[in-house]
Structure 1
């Protein structure tokens, strides 16, 4: 089952003229639901609205945060997975036109699937990464939002699989490290926690925002948004990736360098505490 424009319907092929399929003319949000509550609801909603404005989609008057929340929760409740689930809402421009659309009106659909855990848990297994250099992220506004054009992430994931890697790090057209294939990048060097600024082309991540706020409360840690070069990775004490579904994923190895995960452990603990408090 999926939620299509507010109706729960059986999953089926959604039209051969779908612009998200033909042109990547869509934006999306992936949310985590725990105990019938969407985590970081306001952040997700406003990022989706901002994304729709960037690509000049017409936002319906009824597309409020309450509507956004209601439609997602209605689906997970009907599927019986509201204790712990992930849901993706994809918004796409309605059919018509070629590159130039005939309308800026939108439709949306929501998929949802069950998750195992109701808390964030740190994966402490081996997690080796390397740079993906076949294609570059561009330093522009479109790179910071979640569009349905994710070919660099797809080809990067294939490269990682073919080379026995858990993930890859993407670089931008200035050859700086931007993010992982599925999340924002953080680097601890001494007492300094660094993540690339949005202006470098990284996703304006919801979990990125949470981790920045939590890390600033850790005594003795300086938190900054600065450019990270590939050379910097070799000098790091910790590297980890963040997204809303997994929380924090420590990187254990980059080329010949291995990393600790002490700060990542502490931040996961603080993340779970913040969710419980809210």
Structure 2
């Protein structure tokens, strides 16, 4: 069951072979979490989506209000009976026509949902090992910070991780700084400072990143910074964790020969669950 341009259907949506998202990756998307019939952090998602559409020069429909898109998402999850806990993907793509230059900048959208087995954000007790992915780099540019439909670096990094017995990989930019994981933002605890790369480094402008930055500033004895992270910092760090809206916080237990504690991430998880239940 999907929502295609406001029409919910139980059949698979048949997109044209001329679909620009298929041909050129000409689209953007949001991954959202629905909990107890509410979309978490939806206002942040909504404004990021519209900002992304403006940046890539899509025409934003007059109907694309926050209330309209919220209704389209919640109607679908209710019809599927997954409103208690669901993963949602909202994809917006430019309509068919043209080659690199579109015929016009009008858009269509598709909403897909699937059930999540766990409601609250929980700490994983299983080992989680990462390493650097060096085959391709993420350029320090505005497009790198968007959730576009071109995710080849993240895909190849995830395949590399699978082939090498890793849980995921960490990505680097032009300056060889570590900017994020293949599926989320990166935080490093080092000498009492909780550090995440600034958006100017080319990392995703993550919704959960924003929440964790805000919550971390409430912790006693921790200085919160946005600054570049080098591979050498990973070797000296006390803790590493990855954030996204689906898992919340994923603790990293091992990077190469270095093993990490799990303290600050658990405190932040507790604060995060309190925030979404308020």
The TM tier, using the shorter chain, reads: over 0.9
What CA distance in whole angstroms lies between the structure 1 residues aligned with 2:123 and 2:47? Answer: 28
What CA distance in whole angstroms lies between the structure 2 residues aligned with 1:223 and 1:174? Answer: 22
What CA distance in whole angstroms lies between the structure 1 residues aligned with 2:59 and 2:147? Answer: 17
Q: What is the CA deviation profile of residues 147-185 of structure 1, one whole-angstrom value per residue up to 9, with x for unaligned ones?
A: 000000110010000000000000001100000000000
Structure 2 match to 1:201: 202
How do residues 168-207 of structure 1 correspond to structure 2 at under 5 angstroms?
A: 168-207=169-208
Deviation (angstroms), 1:212: 0.2
- Runs of 4+ residues over 3 Å off in structure 1: none
How do residues 1-278 of structure 1 correspond to structure 2 at under 5 angstroms?
A: 1-9=1-9, 10-277=11-278
Q: What is the CA deviation profile of residues 71-127 of structure 1, one whole-angstrom value per residue up to 9, with x for unaligned ones?
A: 011110110100000100000000000000001000000110000111000112110
Deviation (angstroms), 1:272: 0.2
Give the superposed CA RMSD.
0.5
What CA distance in whole angstroms lies between the structure 2 residues aligned with 1:263 and 1:41? Answer: 26
Gaps of 5+ in 1: none
What CA distance in whole angstroms lies between the structure 2 residues aligned with 1:156 and 1:81? Answer: 31
| Corresponding pairs, count | 277
After the TM superposition, which of the residue ranges 6-15 and 185-194 deviates more from structure 2?
A: 6-15
What CA distance in whole angstroms lies between the structure 2 residues aligned with 1:47 and 1:11? Answer: 28
What CA distance in whole angstroms lies between the structure 1 residues aligned with 2:33 and 2:191? Answer: 32
SS in 1 for 2:125: coil
Deviation (angstroms), 1:13: 2.9
TM (norm. structure 1) is 0.99
TM (norm. structure 2) is 0.99
Q: What is the CA deviation profile of residues 2-46 of structure 1, one whole-angstrom value per residue up to 9, with x for unaligned ones?
A: 100000122233111110000000000000000110000100000
SS in 1 for 2:236: coil
